[in-house]
């Protein structure tokens, strides 16, 4: 079993991996105030670091697909478009 802090670290690494198709990708940050705890684990929302505004604005975490982490296995998965997060 992993802790919330360990799960957060997994997501932080995943969201900041090098993207060869997006060489100017800004630093991504997790918005802890949007993190949702479920019996099976957590849902983490992220967005560009506010210091690196996209088109002059912060897109906010609601515009990115969140990641979920299973607390029993440590499995990390990004949501697919149109995923019902509440159904996770």
> CA distances (Å), 16 to each of 7, 23, 31, in order?
15, 12, 14
Quick one: pLDDT at residue 62?
59
> pLDDT: is 31 or 6 the higher one?
6
Q: How far apart are CA 45 and CA 37, in angstroms?
A: 12
pLDDT (mean) for 22-35: 87
Q: Are 16 and 87 in contact (CB under 8 A)?
A: no
Instruction: Tell me the average pLDDT across 22-28.
Output: 85
Query: Taking 90 as the threshold, does the pLDDT of residue 10 lie above it?
Result: yes
pLDDT of residue 34: 86
- The mean pLDDT of the chain is 83
In this prediction, residue 42 has a pLDDT band, given cuts at 50, 70 and 90, of very high
- Most confident stretch, 29-43, 45-59, 72-86: 29-43
């Amino acid at each position: 079993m992993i802790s919330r802090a360990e799960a957060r670290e997994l997501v932080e690494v995943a969201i900041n991996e090098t993207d060869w198709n997006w060489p100017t990708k800004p630093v991504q940050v997790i918005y802890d105030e949007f993190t949702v705890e479920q019996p099976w684990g957590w849902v983490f929302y992220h967005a560009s670091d506010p210091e690196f505004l996209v088109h002059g604005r912060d897109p906010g975490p609601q515009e990115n697909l969140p990641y979920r982490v299973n607390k029993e296995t440590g499995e990390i998965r990004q949501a697919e478009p149109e995923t019902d997060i509440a159904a996770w």
